[in-house]
Amino acid sequence: MQQIPWKTIAQGIQCLREMAVAEMVFSDDINTKNADLVSYTSVMWRKLRRLGPLEYASALAVLKREDMEETVLDMAKKLRAYANAVHGPTHARIAAVETRLQKLEDKIDETHTKLRKEIRENLLQISAVQIRGSGTQRRRSLARERGYTPRAELWFLLQDCGENMKQMGWKSTAALAQRVHELK
């Protein structure tokens, strides 16, 4: 019978039961039909230890005692207890990390909601400022309709015409407009 190496305790217990079934089939001394009630022999122990991962080798060496008559079921229980003792704290740590992660996600969601609310409020304030600002633009466009030219435009027109802007800098907007009118 070909034995496959095992990596987990569940696979090790399955391997142990398969060895017990082989024992039942090939041995005339065994009267039971239940693989769990077959005696756990030193041959089974050596095979189980050889096929298993190194991390379980020392545990298997300690779990088997030569002076005790044990069944496959007894050994399976010991293997499960060992796995729980070794991997139980790991699962507890994982659960603690998951709980902490959930708390952090909740906090992030809460902060995200607060930021969204602040952004909405800021956008409303910006919109209110833009609405108020549009009145200023309307006044400027009305001023242009009446023939008023902004000081900056007058300045650039005079500069393009070759005027000495050092002399024009202190003059009023009306004086600049009059000079542009004269040059045209």
Distances (CA, A) of 10 to 2, 7, 16, 56, 88: 18, 8, 10, 12, 15
Task: List, for residues 62-119, the tens digit of each pLDDT value.
Answer: 776 666 688 888 888 888 888 888 777 776 777 788 889 999 999 999 999 998 888 8
Read off the tokens for 147. 């023939």
DSSP structure class, residue 171:
S
Q: Using CA atoms, how far apart are residues 115 and 113, in angstroms rounded to an integer? A: 5
Task: List, for residues 14-53, the tens digit of each pLDDT value.
Answer: 888 888 888 888 877 777 788 888 888 878 888 888 888 8
Domain ranges of the chain: 9-86, 149-183
DSSP structure class, residue 39:
B
Q: Using CA atoms, how far apart are residues 60 and 8, in angstroms rounded to an integer? A: 13
> Which is more confidently placed, 115 or 60?
115
| Phi (first) and psi of residue 162, to 5 degrees | 90, 15
pTM above 0.75, yes or no: no
